[in-house]
Structure 1
Amino acid sequence: MAVQDWQKSSYSGDAANCIYVSTTVDCDIKIRESDDPDTVITTTPDTLRALLRGIKEGEFDHLTT
């Protein structure tokens, strides 16, 4: 599946540890980190939306303590 252009997160600024996202022609979402660009996570828009919602609602906060 062809990956469209990678887009750097606006929160990364000029930092070296950047998150990039892209989509495929099949509407899958690809995510990679600048320190290891050959490792790519693939997900669907619905799954990513659920993850982001959980993060915003603090569902995973217990994992950071």
Structure 2
Amino acid sequence: MPDITWEAPFCQDASNCFRLGTDPDGNAYIAVQGEEEHYLTDSLDALRALVAGIKAGKADHLL
């Protein structure tokens, strides 16, 4: 497993928590809290684009 530094969980409510993480090689990770061994990974640039898109409302149609 990569050397991932996980951020504190982001939770909508007690049952919907996600964690973002990074490693020393510049990769970004997203996982469900408690399931960090099953993560999605991409570059830090891709994570920045994802967060910026969500903040801009590009995922609102999913809600």
State the TM-score bracket (shorter-chain normalisation). Answer: 0.5 to 0.7
* Unaligned runs of at least 5 residues, structure 2: none
SS at match of 1:37: coil
**Conserved 8 A contact 1:2-1:25:** no
Aligned runs of 1:24-63 on 2, under 5 Å? 24-63=23-62
The separation in 2 between residues aligned to 1:5 and 1:45, in whole angstroms, is: 13
Radius of gyration: which is bigger?
A: 1
Identity of aligned residues (%): 34
1:62/1:5 Cα in 2 relative to 1: closer, same or farther (>3 Å)? Answer: closer
Deviation sequence 1:29-59 (CA, Å, 0-9, x none): 1221124332111121111111111111111
Pairwise CA RMSD: 2.6
| SS, match of residue 38 in structure 1 | coil
- Cα 1:17/1:62, change in 2 over 3 Å: closer
What is the identity, as a one-letter code, of the residue corresponding to 1:58? G
Q: TM-score, normalised by structure 2?
A: 0.68
- How does the TM-score come out when normalised to structure 1? 0.67
Structure 1 residues without counterparts, runs of 5 or longer: none
